[in-house]
Each structure stands twice: as C-alpha cells, then as structure tokens.
A and B are shown apart, each in its own frame.
Chain A
Amino acid sequence: MDLFEKISSLDRRWIFLVIALSILIPLLFPFTQPLEVSPDVRAVYEALAALPEGSTVLCSFEYGPSTLPEVHPMARSVMRYLFQRDHKVIVMALWPDGLFMSRDILDEIAVGEYQAEYGVDYINLGYKAGNEVVIKSIAESFSRTYPVDTRGQSTTSWPIMHGIENLANIDFIFSLSAGYPGTVEWVQYAADPYNKPMTTGCTAVQVTEVVPYVRSGQCAGILGGLAGAAEFEVLLMEKGWLTELGAGNRGMAAQSVAHLVLVAFIIIGNVAFYVERRRQRKF
C-alpha cells in the first residue's frame, strides 16, 4: 500500500485527533497573529461611532450557550464601547437563553467594569415570547410589550425609559444573533419599515444569510463569527477604546491553525482522490 492508498483509507479518528491538537496546542501556548480589519467590521464601528454621545441603543440578545464562544466576545466589545461613550443601553432578548446571556454580559461589563447605574445607564427588559411579533409590538409601545423589567418593576418607572415610548425613540439597534428570530427579523420588522439604523454581530453560520442585507445597505456592517469579534477588538484597540485584546483574539490563533489544518486535509484528500482515480482509469 503506497502513500496515496494509505491516505484514502486513513482512519478518520486520526483526523479528529489532529484537529483537536491543532486547537489545543495554540490554546496551551498562545500566540498573537496580525489581523486585518475587514470593511464590514469597519462599517459596524463607523455606524456606532456616528452616534452622538448619550444616544439610546437597543441591544437584542438572540443567542444561547451553544453559540456563546462566538457571540459573547463581540457582545463584550460592543458593550464596552457603548458604556465608554455614555450611551443609554436598553437590553432585551428574543430568545429565552438570551436573557441569561444578557445578564452575564451586563454583570461583567456594566456592573463590573463601568459601575453603570441600573435604570439610568442601562436596563434589561428581559425575554418576551413572540419572535418578530415582539419587534412589531415595541414599534408601537415599549411599556405595553414590557410592562415590567427583569427586576419585576414597572419599566416606565426607570429614568432611562422616560421619553422612550416606542421604536421611534431608539437611535440605534444592535442585534447579537445566532438564528431565528434574529438579525433578519430586525431588518424586516424594524430597520426597513421604520428606517432605523442597525447593525449586527452574528454567528459565522448566519453570515451568508445576513450579508445580502449588508451589501444593500439595510444593515450597517456585520461582525461575523469569532473572526468578526477579533477584528472588532483590534479596531477598538486601534481607536483607543480598548487597552487589551479580548476573548475574540485569544481564540483566533487556535481557530486559524485549525483552519490551516482543515485546508491541508482538503488538499491532501483531493490529491489522493485524483491520483487514485487516474490509476483506476489506467488499468
């Protein structure tokens, strides 16, 4: 059995092992790699930077623990930027798990790092069932859709909600999304019909679904997957909003090595396949 035959009949468990090691080794021996910020990530930053200080930003959490490694790093960066610029942040969730994700991020960033005041600098409205109907509903009234916040208090009693009757009073929408309902629904039911500027940070799987809205200008840029999160961190650091790179960049080294290994496997597998096929034709 020559090399190409061996490759063709390679036990797939060797491939699993090599992929695992390609992730594990860079995690144990981390290194940083230069990242070039893509125009889509730059567009997200520019859309946020265009907001005057003290704007009201609606952040919707539409992801859960299964997609946490991808979306959490970008949620952290976005929240850090929003609080540094003194924006008012209204948080809500279209996924039940989104509530726990938002609590985690707000506890870490709003409370832990910026000592932001609940009800003044930010508010967590929590999860509401109804998918896109919730978006249509807040377009009419926040207080009717969310009579109480996650603390069980009347939403209208908090200073941050004074003057915020519906979507018309929101300056910007940021969707942190991993599927349905998510970014697509925010474009369809909020950004387009009410002419609201919005952008997104979503999982890599969603990128090809969302990119058409970005190209058409319906959504201002996109942070796609862990790479998008890492690029956004780099950009915020370039602009002086971050002092050190976060989880996005810590993961990117391992991700890049894993990608190189996968590409190598694809090339080797294809070469072996074509060599084998040529041999079979000869005989």
Chain B
Amino acid sequence: MAETVGIWFAAFLTLAIFSFLYKDNPFYKFAEHLFTGVSAAYWMSVAFWSQVHPNLFGNIWWPEAFVRRFLEFTYVWVDHVELDGQIYAANALIDGSLTPEMIQRAELVNDIRVMYYIPLILGILFFTRLVPKIAYLSRWPLAFVMGMAAGLRLYSFLQSNAMEQISATIAPLAGTPTAAEAINNLVVLIGVFTGLVYFYFSREHKGLFGSLSRVGVYFLMVSFGAAFGYTVMARVSLLLGRFQFLIGDWLGTLTGAGS
C-alpha cells in the first residue's frame, strides 16, 4: 500500500514537472519547491551524518559526563567499554550486549583524540568571515584546504592528464598495422597542434598562424558537437526513464501489472 502511494505521488510530481513545458502553473511550482526543499534537507543531512559526524564529531574527545548524558551516541564517542573486568565493543548498547544502566556503571575507554580539535578549530575559523573585524582568520583554513588539495592532486594530474596524454598523442605516423591507424594518428596530431595554436594569444591570429588557428577552431567545434550530441543522448535517456516509470510502474498499478 505504502509503495503504491509512493508511486502515485512520484507520478503526480513527474507530471507536475512536465506541465511546465505547456506553461508555468501552480502544480509545477509546488513540485519545484518541494524538490528544492527536500534536496537541500537531504544533502545537508547526508553531509552531516556521512562527513562531519564520522570524520569529526564521532572522533573527537568528549568529556565523560557529556558522553554519559547522551548514551545513544556512545558507539561513536568511545573506543570500547569495560565492565566487571570484561571488554565490550563500542556499539554494545546498540547490539544489546549492554543496557544503559550497565553502561552508566562501566568505564568508557577513549583514546586521546585531541588532534581532532585542530580541524574543529579550522572549521570554526571559516565562520569568522561573518565577523568583518576578524574575517582575515578565515584565510587560514582556506590556505590549509588549498595546500592539501594541491598536494593531493598535483601528482595525479601531472601523471594522468599531462604525461600519459602527451605520451598517447605522440603516436607513429608510419609503420602502423593499418593505414587507417596512421591517418587517425595524423588527425590527432593536427588537432592537438592547431588546437594549441588557437589558444596561443601572444601573437595576432592572421596569415598562416591565423589559418592554423581556424583549423583548430574546427577541431574544437567537432569536440563541442560530440559533447552536445552525448548530452542530448543523456537527456533523452532521462526522459525515457521517466516515461518507463509512468508506463511501467504507475500505469502498472492501475492494470495490476506493475509493482
């Protein structure tokens, strides 16, 4: 029953969104606002419980009195629990091995997690942008993020996007297994060279240089065309998916053929 209601509501929202193609209307507005609100709430919840909580709040050291106050979160705040000489896993409260009363008597063993206060402080510093007098402090966490991201990505980008791609571009024009392969390699060479010429702005694009640049533009247009074609294909696939839902799942509930 609940699934059928869900399918009907999904079908209503799908048709409400489609109705915009005729003209703007209250059904579309309702569906649009609902989608925006639910998306914002969903992603905020996902971001908090999958990123902030397990990576920060779940690892940070909390005063024992605080942990005992909120026992339902014991499993993320402590490493393990010791009671009557026995060691229990941190999620003992959840799996039923320990009752809340037993945990109140137990010793909550927690590694020193003071290190996690560093990202906590850096995170809080982001919000100093809201106070103009100390807004400059927000640059510190930003500098950390920039440095970390650059360090993490530089090597990978250099290897995968620069070295490997350059290596793949330098392909033989003669002695290939087939003539088609040689022609293909020649096209790649001309495309890369003229494309680079187009993006060289230190010299005016006229004469031979301008002609090469124009050839580069044609190659770019072909690549944009391919990207556009694939995008259209993707969008048609999504429309197809919605129609399959309407015909299969929604109309299926009417005829009894669907889920």
Query: Which residues on B sit within 8 Å (CB–CB) of A20?
Result: 239, 243
A218: Cβ under 8 A from any B Cβ: yes
Please encode chain B, from 47 to 69, with 1 for each CB lying within 8 Å of some chain A CB and 0 for all others.
Answer: 00011001100000000000000
Residue of B nearest to A72 (CB): B241
CB <8 Å contact, B231 and A205: yes
Please encode chain A, from 168 to 204, with 1 for each CB lying within 8 Å of some chain B CB and 0 for all others.
Answer: 0000000000000000000111001100000000011
CB <8 Å contact, A216 and B227: no
CB <8 Å contact, A225 and B233: yes
A16: Cβ under 8 A from any B Cβ: yes
A254: Cβ under 8 A from any B Cβ: yes
Query: In the complex, what distance in Å separates the CA atom of A170 from the CA atom of B152?
Result: 23
Query: In the complex, what distance in Å separates the CA atom of A128 from the CA atom of B237?
Result: 28
Query: Which residues on B sit within 8 Å (CB–CB) of A45?
Result: none
Query: In the complex, what distance in Å separates the CA atom of A66 from the CA atom of B46?
Result: 17
Query: In the complex, what distance in Å separates the CA atom of A62 from the CA atom of B238?
Result: 17
B40: Cβ under 8 A from any A Cβ: no
Interface residues on A, range: 35 or more
CB <8 Å contact, B152 and A132: yes
A68: Cβ under 8 A from any B Cβ: yes
Query: In the complex, what distance in Å separates the CA atom of A224 from the CA atom of B236?
Result: 14
Query: Which residues on A sit within 8 Å (CB–CB) of B247?
Result: 24, 27-28
B240: Cβ under 8 A from any A Cβ: yes
Name the segment of B114-122, B161-169, B202-210 touching the other chain.
Answer: B161-169
Query: In the complex, what distance in Å separates the CA atom of A80 from the CA atom of B159?
Result: 34
Query: In the complex, what distance in Å separates the CA atom of A262 from the CA atom of B236?
Result: 10
A35: Cβ under 8 A from any B Cβ: no
CB <8 Å contact, B164 and A259: no
CB <8 Å contact, A23 and B243: yes
Interface of A is mostly: helix
Given known contacts A193-B156, A205-B230, A212 and B238 CB-to-CB distance under 8 angstroms: no
Query: In the complex, what distance in Å separates the CA atom of A124 from the CA atom of B196?
Result: 45
Please encode chain A, from 125 to 156, with 1 for each CB lying within 8 Å of some chain B CB and 0 for all others.
Answer: 00101101100100000000000000010000
Give which listed residue, A16, A216, A225, contacts B234 with CB less than 8 A.
Answer: A225
Please encode chain B, from 20 to 55, with 1 for each CB lying within 8 Å of some chain A CB and 0 for all others.
Answer: 011000000000000000000000001000110011
A79: Cβ under 8 A from any B Cβ: no
CB <8 Å contact, A66 and B238: yes
Query: In the complex, what distance in Å separates the CA atom of A251 from the CA atom of B236?
Result: 10
Query: Which residues on B sit within 8 Å (CB–CB) of A254?
Result: 240, 243
Give which listed residue, A69, A96, A188, A225, contacts B160 with CB less than 8 A.
Answer: A188
Query: In the complex, what distance in Å separates the CA atom of A129 from the CA atom of B47?
Result: 8
CB <8 Å contact, A69 and B237: yes
B223: Cβ under 8 A from any A Cβ: yes
Query: Which residues on A sit within 8 Å (CB–CB) of B243?
Result: 20, 23-24, 27, 254
Greatest chain A CB density within 10 A among B54, B156, B240 is at B240
Query: In the complex, what distance in Å separates the CA atom of A203 from the CA atom of B234?
Result: 7
Give which listed residue, B50, B51, B157, B168, contacts A217 with CB less than 8 A.
Answer: B168
CB <8 Å contact, B157 and A188: yes
Query: Which residues on B sit within 8 Å (CB–CB) of A133?
Result: 152
Please encode chain A, from 23 to 48, with 1 for each CB lying within 8 Å of some chain B CB and 0 for all others.
Answer: 11001100000000000000000000
Q: How far is the CB of A252 from chain B (nearest CB, A)?
A: 9
A280: Cβ under 8 A from any B Cβ: no
Residue of A nearest to B236 (CB): A258
Q: How far is the CB of A152 from chain B (nearest CB, A)?
A: 8
Greatest chain A CB density within 10 A among B230, B232, B247 is at B230
Give which listed residue, B167, B168, B230, contacts A204 with CB less than 8 A.
Answer: B230
B87: Cβ under 8 A from any A Cβ: no
Query: In the complex, what distance in Å separates the CA atom of A19 from the CA atom of B241?
Result: 14
Query: In the complex, what distance in Å separates the CA atom of A276 from the CA atom of B26?
Result: 38
Please encode chain B, from 176 to 195, with 1 for each CB lying within 8 Å of some chain A CB and 0 for all others.
Answer: 00000000000000000000
Given known contacts A251-B237, A251-B240, A204 and B164 CB-to-CB distance under 8 angstroms: no
Q: A19-B239, A23-B236, A189-B156 are in contact. List 15 more A-B contacts (CB 8 A).
A: A20-B239, A69-B237, A70-B234, A130-B55, A133-B152, A188-B157, A203-B234, A203-B237, A204-B231, A205-B230, A216-B168, A225-B230, A255-B233, A255-B237, A262-B232
Closest 8 CB pairs of A and B: A69-B241, A216-B168, A204-B234, A188-B156, A129-B51, A204-B233, A204-B230, A188-B160
9 A/B residue pairs, CB under 8 Å, sorted by A: A23-B240, A27-B244, A27-B247, A68-B241, A69-B244, A70-B237, A70-B238, A132-B153, A216-B165
Which residues of A are interface residues toward B (Cβ below 8 A)?
13, 16, 19-20, 23-24, 27-28, 66-70, 96, 127, 129-130, 132-133, 136, 152, 187-189, 192-193, 203-205, 207-208, 212-213, 215-218, 224-227, 251, 254-255, 258-259, 262
